Amino acid sequence: MIWSLLDAAATRFAARVAIRHEDVELTYAELAAEAAGLAERLRAAGLDPGDRVAILANNCWEYLAAYFAAAGAGLVLVPWNTRLNVQEHRLVLEDSGADLLLAERKFEDVVKYLGVDVLWIDDEWPESCPLEEFEPAESQASTVAQLYYTSGTTGTPKGVMLTHGNVTAHVAMTVHELALDESDVWGHIAPMFHLADAWATFSITHVGGTHTFVPRFGAETALRAIARERITISNLVPTMLNLMVQEDGGHDSSSLRAILSGGAPIAPEVVRSIVERFGCEYVQTYGMTETSPFLTMSLLDDALRALPEHEQLAWRAKTGRAVRGVELRVVDLDGRDVANDEASVGEIWVRGPTVTPGYWQQTAATRDAFTADGWLKTGDLAVIDNKGFVTIVDRAKDVILTGGETVFSTEIENRLYEHPDVVEAAAIGLPDDVWGERIAAAVVLRGDSELTETALADFCRERLAGFKVPREIRFVGALPRTGSGKISKHSLRERWKV
């Protein structure tokens, strides 16, 4: 089913440019032939339908072709986080049972310790195969197509299964919601091993758009790519966008029609700066690896678009409404829907065709993640308003309990971001013998700032209740991040102990 997306594009858009990357330009007909050639090479390696093949690479056109080649050969693709260490890669390798690794030579120092057969995609790429000579494997909607290993790889790794049906349902939804078409140029800027970007591999191909790539994120590099390649749309995590806004390079971003952001809540002040910097539509997204990924988007209807700009920004900064095909509830501890009053906090539960069937070879974890009637429990806490827009207030595991009070880290972070000298901020709870937890904040400042910790605490105190003001503030050069670019609060807590 996934292969049919590329197969159809090669027929409908045969001469249209599919790939622009460095000195490589491929039409859809050429891309399909390259993917078919890789699929045949995987078969020649002795891989049978259902076997797993992993990939370890930075963003490149070969990565995109591998997604389709694996599907065409009936294999399960296992994208590997490039930031993992050798032991973490070994855990994912053992859990997935991958029989072959597709890798770039730049990762040779890691791969040599893994004891797995390797095909080096940057210097052993196979010959292309004419599309008319290629026989794709038969796949059903329920056939597993991809295994993504979730962030936070300490302990036993957990592979999220996505099926051909999950992926193709997500394609139909995103094309509709985002009005994607053949004029779009997608910038693969977020890592392709993560669904923050990988979903566009399939959706942009389906509509015959053009793919272009930033191998490794850097604010300056991403801005240059947008200007050079005339990128129209991309999806980035808030950390990336914040760094790009801070970069003052004068790059032309007039080609952008929309910037999507997801993976973490975003402060309204950051949304304002994004809209001012890029001059295009901003869409906040929310989703999970388990949901292919998108569940909500902050797309405005005609009535909301008629509001003054500052009021529109407030809506765009919300987590958004459920996208087409997704059932979404916000429920209390007893599983009852909370009031749509944008004040009552509950956990987000979801159902729909893009939701994973479960975790690879982990029956208990799968059972625990779902209710008896099929709702996926996300672990994200949110409020919901009378228009059905949700706003995430925290991850359940990141809620701070201090002196008997519940404090949501996003409220503190939103206030910190309002200070003009703050570039990035993260609030966490630390163990405290008296208060249970005390609030701490790690903050990245502008390079020329003379702000003190005391002055920033006073700034917070002007708009936050006293018990919400961070008792500890540390100025740091950078915040720890996961492989997908999210701020890692787990790592931050561990660093604070040192």
DSSP result, 184-216: -EEEE-S-TTSHHHHHHHHHHHHHT-EEEE-SS
CA angle 47, 205, 260 (to 5 degrees): 115
Write down the pLDDT at residue 283: 96
> What CA–CA distances, in Å, run from 319 to 28, 257, 323, 415?
35, 20, 11, 18
Strands 24-27 and 405-407: unpaired
Residue closest to 484 by CA, chosen among 213, 149, 258, 208: 149
How far from each other are the two terminal CA atoms of the chain, in whole angstroms? Answer: 50
Dihedral pair phi/psi, residue 168, rounded to 5°: -70, -30
Q: In the CATH scheme, what is the code of domain 322-395?
A: 2.30.38.10
> What CA–CA distances, in Å, run from 173 to 97, 296, 322, 324, 332?
32, 11, 11, 6, 28
Tell me which amino acid residue 86 is.
V
Write down the pLDDT at residue 353: 98
Q: Environment class of residue 135 by beta-carbon count within 10 Å: exposed (0-12), middle (13-18) or buried (19+)?
A: exposed
Q: Environment class of residue 433 by beta-carbon count within 10 Å: exposed (0-12), middle (13-18) or buried (19+)?
A: exposed
Write the CB contacts of 11 (distance below 8 Å, at least 6 apart in sequence): none
94/89 Cα distance (integer angstroms): 9
In the chain, CATH 3.40.50.12780 covers 1-216
CATH superfamily of 399-497: ANL, C-terminal domain (3.30.300.30)
Structure tokens at 37: 């050639």
Cβ atoms of residues 355 and 366 within 8 Å: no
Q: Environment class of residue 227 by beta-carbon count within 10 Å: exposed (0-12), middle (13-18) or buried (19+)?
A: middle
Write down the pLDDT at residue 344: 96
If you count them, how many residues does the chain have?
498
In the chain, CATH 2.30.38.10 covers 322-395
Write down the pLDDT at residue 265: 67
Reading the chain (498 residues) residue by residue, the pLDDT tens digits are 999 999 999 999 999 999 999 899 999 999 999 999 999 999 999 999 999 999 999 999 999 999 999 999 999 999 999 988 898 899 999 999 999 999 999 999 999 999 999 999 999 999 999 999 999 999 999 999 999 998 543 446 799 999 999 999 999 999 999 999 999 999 999 999 999 999 999 999 999 999 999 999 999 999 999 999 999 999 998 878 888 988 867 899 999 999 999 866 677 888 888 999 999 999 999 999 999 999 999 999 999 999 998 899 989 989 999 999 999 999 999 999 999 999 999 999 999 999 999 999 999 999 999 999 999 999 999 999 999 999 988 887 888 988 778 788 888 999 999 999 999 999 999 988 778 889 999 999 998 999 999 999 999 999 898 889 999 999 999 999 876 677 888 889 888 875
- For domain 1-216, give the fold: Rossmann fold (3.40.50)
